[in-house]
Structures are given as C-alpha cells and as structure tokens.
Amino acid sequence: MQALTAPSGGRERNAAVLPLPAFSDNYIWAIVRDGQAAVVDPGEAGPVLRLLEQQGLRLRAILLTHHHGDHVGGVSELSRIEGITVYGPARERLPRCDVPLAQGDRVEIPELDLDLSVLDVPGHTAGHIAYTGRAAGVEPVLFCGDTLFAGGCGRLFEGTPAQMLDSLEKFSVLPPDTQVFCAHEYTLANLRWASAVEPANRNLQQWHQRARQLRAEGLPTLPSTIGQERATNPFLRTQQIEVVQAAERWAGHNHATPVEVFASLREWKNEFK
C-alpha cells in the first residue's frame, strides 16, 4: 500500500492519504491522521474495516462523489459504526447521506486536518460532485470520483459532452500541483489511447513509461496531478491543435468548438481497443 504523507514534522507527522484497492480496479481513498480516518467512495466495506482494525483507527466520516454501486456499496455496512457522518451529492440517491452537498459547500473535520470545497461536476452522473482543498495535511488535493482519470475521464452515463467538458474545465483551473485522487486504476489503458491521439507528445511518452514501471512493481499510478493531466490528458487538451486535428481525423469532419472535439474524443475512447 503506497501512502501519500503530509509534510514531516509537527502535528501532521501521522497523517496520510492511503489507497485501498477494491474490486478489480477501484480505489477507496482513506484520509488518516492521529488515529482517525475518513474514506472517500467506499464501494465495499471490507478494505475499510481491515484498515481500521490493522491500524487501530476510528472512522469519522464517509465522503461520496456519486451514486454508482462501486462507490457506495459499502456505506450500509460501515454505517453500523457509531459516530460517523456521511457526506454526499445533494442531487443523487444514496444509501445514506447525513450532509447533502452542492457547489460552494465545505466539509471541515479539524481532527483530520480536512478542509474541502465542493464542486458540482455533472457528466458521468447528473449529480456528481468532487472535493478539493486539504486532507490530512496534504494540499492541494482533488477527490474527483469518476469524472477525471489519469489520461482519461468518465463515461457519459447521465450527462452531455458540454456538461462534462465544463466539469473538467473546473479541474483544469486548479493549481498545477493539485494531487488528483481518481477512483480507478485505468491509467495504462487510458495512456495507450492518449498515445494514439498525441503520438508525438513527449510528456505523455515519459508518463506512460513511468506508469508502466509503477504497475510492473505492483504500485498505484495515482495520485496524478493537474499539471500532469493538462500536459498529457486529451480530454483536458481539447483546444490543442494536435488534439483537435486527431479528433477531426477520427471523426472524418471538422470541429467548430471544443465541445465537438470532446464529444469525438469520448466516442473514440469508448471504441478504442
């Protein structure tokens, strides 16, 4: 298990953000500090319960980004733990939600050194939200659920290309050193596709090589950063001429707007083998 730890020294010395693998390729993110924890998108309870037992942690909160089962499936079982608070999107139906959230709301848990602002990011689902700010002394962070992946983005199950592009642009303006905690280990597949879109992108080539090495060593490729995604993720590069031309070649016609470019990229990725 690879941890992203807070800066050494002071009250944050026992703080970390930990990836808990779940199912075949999900990550539940555990925010840990001084014997307490919060978890993001617990699709199953088992990995969380094992962490709590192994490290003697008290679960304080659950943060949800959207309603899909592989993100909320563990909520009911974890709800048996006394004293937890469940935060989640106000516009989605969830197994439990004590504090409904929408853009501009904040989640503050001082014991975890957690201070997160909420963004509305529809596209993958209609009410999807994301959290950005500070967690366990690590900042800036972004817990983006299934909206953004390293080298990719979520499928449009309930939203439109325009909505998803707008959501991704909310991420793109975050500081470049923002740590991006995606909910799936899709990186290698995404970067194979991204390399087909921009085969001459040196940043992408280097990132792809590093990601392959990490996976060969059994390590997560995450977190990514916003700066890295801006440099390598076609879905955040819809106004780059190389990406526009690649999308137009694939679609067989010219595109007048970034939304049209994004829509073609999303269809291309859906069909990419």
Residue 238, judged by CB atoms within 10 A of its CB (0-12, 13-18, 19+), counts as buried
Would you say 117 and 98 are in contact if contact means Cβ atoms under 8 Å apart?
no
Q: Does 70 show up as a binding residue in the annotation? A: yes
Active-site residue, 124 included = yes
Q: Does 146 show up as a binding residue in the annotation? A: yes
Q: Which of 67, 71, 128, 208 is catalytic?
A: 71
Q: Does 166 show up as a binding residue in the annotation? A: no
Active-site residue, 71 included = yes
Active-site residue, 68 included = yes
Would you say 77 and 45 are in contact if contact means Cβ atoms under 8 Å apart?
yes
32 pairs with which residues across the strands? 16, 37
Q: Which of 128, 184, 208, 255 is catalytic?
A: 184
Active-site residue, 34 included = no
Would you say 31 and 56 are in contact if contact means Cβ atoms under 8 Å apart?
no
Q: Does 128 show up as a binding residue in the annotation? A: no
Active-site residue, 66 included = yes
Q: Which of 41, 113, 120, 146 is catalytic?
A: 146
Active-site residue, 184 included = yes
Q: How is residue 263 annotated by DSSP?
A: H
Q: Which of 41, 66, 113, 128 is catalytic?
A: 66
Helix/strand/coil percentages in the chain, nearest 5: 35, 25, 40
Q: Does 115 show up as a binding residue in the annotation? A: no
Would you say 18 and 139 are in contact if contact means Cβ atoms under 8 Å apart?
no
Active-site residue, 67 included = no
Q: Which of 41, 113, 120, 124 is catalytic?
A: 124
**What is the set of active-site residues?**
66, 68, 70-71, 124, 146, 184
Residue list for the binding site for Zn(2+): 66, 68, 70-71, 124, 146, 184
Residue list for the binding site: 66, 68, 70-71, 124, 146, 184
